[in-house]
Amino acid sequence: MQEYWELYMKNLEGKPASILFNAGISMEVETIKYIYPQIAFVKVKLKEPNERGLLSESEQPEISYLEDKLEASLIKFRIGKYVGRIFSDGYVTFLYYLQFTYNWQDFLNYALDEFESYEMTSGYQEDEAWSYYYNLLYPKPKEWQIIQNHKVCEQLKAKEDNLHLPRAIEHRAFFVEENAKKEELMEMLGSRGFKVQSDIVNEEGVKGLSFYRIDKPFYADIDALTLELIDLLEAYGASYDGWETSIVKC
């Protein structure tokens, strides 16, 4: 089973939430969901959440140790797989899919014996469809785009790029509908200051466009731009496929 984790922010019931989830496991869900049919949780009330209801720096070491103890207990009792963690509204919730439930209490006792000062709840229920994984942990398309945006931003920063400086940012879009409106799309892009660079084709033979505009690749700026493009392109039967840019250090 693959271990490939992603961290991102979202709104959860009107509150900011920090989501860490195992993205790699998504490629194996169809083959393992019947082996691990129960969703289980351990929900812990934070002692000193920050002003946003998320984990504070002062409490981070203790919560990390608690998380490590839960993982060690999961391995010891071999009852399931750790799939994600959510910080929101002054709580942290650890989520697991279980193969067995008969030793769930043994798992808890072993993992949490050093954390009696914390207020906790726990439990499990059937979820053969893995709906909690897909509906709660797994990012929606726009959340995925933000994850990818920030990865590119981090790569640029690592090369000493000044993300606040405008430069040409190239975008890609592919037509996903037979009645895609290519000419109308090109006109719309032009009206918003983009220049269409070329026609492109992906590995599956799907046609699309490459276009660019002078913008800033700073986190908030590129997030706002790409989320706007996702909505705009959808109206023309196209799907957004990411961006790239050159490094600017000055």
Predicted confidence band of residue 71 (pLDDT cuts 50, 70, 90): very high
What mean pLDDT is predicted for residues 17-29? 95
* pLDDT above 70 coverage of the chain, percent: 99
CATH number of this structure's domain 141-245:
3.30.70.970
Of 41-45, 56-60, 200-204, minimum mean pLDDT range: 200-204
Instruction: Tell me the CATH class for 5-137.
Output: alpha beta
Average pLDDT, the chain: 95
Mind listing the pLDDT tens digit for each residue in 205-222? 999 999 999 999 999 999
What pLDDT, on the 0 to 100 scale, is given for residue 236?
Answer: 94
Locate tokens 């509906």: which residue? 135
What pLDDT, on the 0 to 100 scale, is given for residue 216?
Answer: 97
What is the reported pTM? Answer: 0.86
What pLDDT, on the 0 to 100 scale, is given for residue 1?
Answer: 56
Is the distance from CB of 163 to CB of 153 less than 8 angstroms? yes
CA distance 217 to 42: 38
All CATH 3.30.70.970 domain ranges in the chain, comma separated: 141-245
CA distance 166 to 104: 54
| Structure tokens given for 140 | 């929606």
What pLDDT, on the 0 to 100 scale, is given for residue 2?
Answer: 65
Per-residue pLDDT for 249 more than 70?
A: yes
What pLDDT, on the 0 to 100 scale, is given for residue 178?
Answer: 74
Per-residue pLDDT for 177 more than 90?
A: no
Per-residue pLDDT for 3 more than 90?
A: no
Q: What is the DSSP string of 99-161?
A: S--TTHHHHHHHHHTT-TTS-EEEEEEE-TT-HHIIIIISPPHHHHHHHHHHHHHHHHHHTT-
Tell me, what amino acid is at 246? S
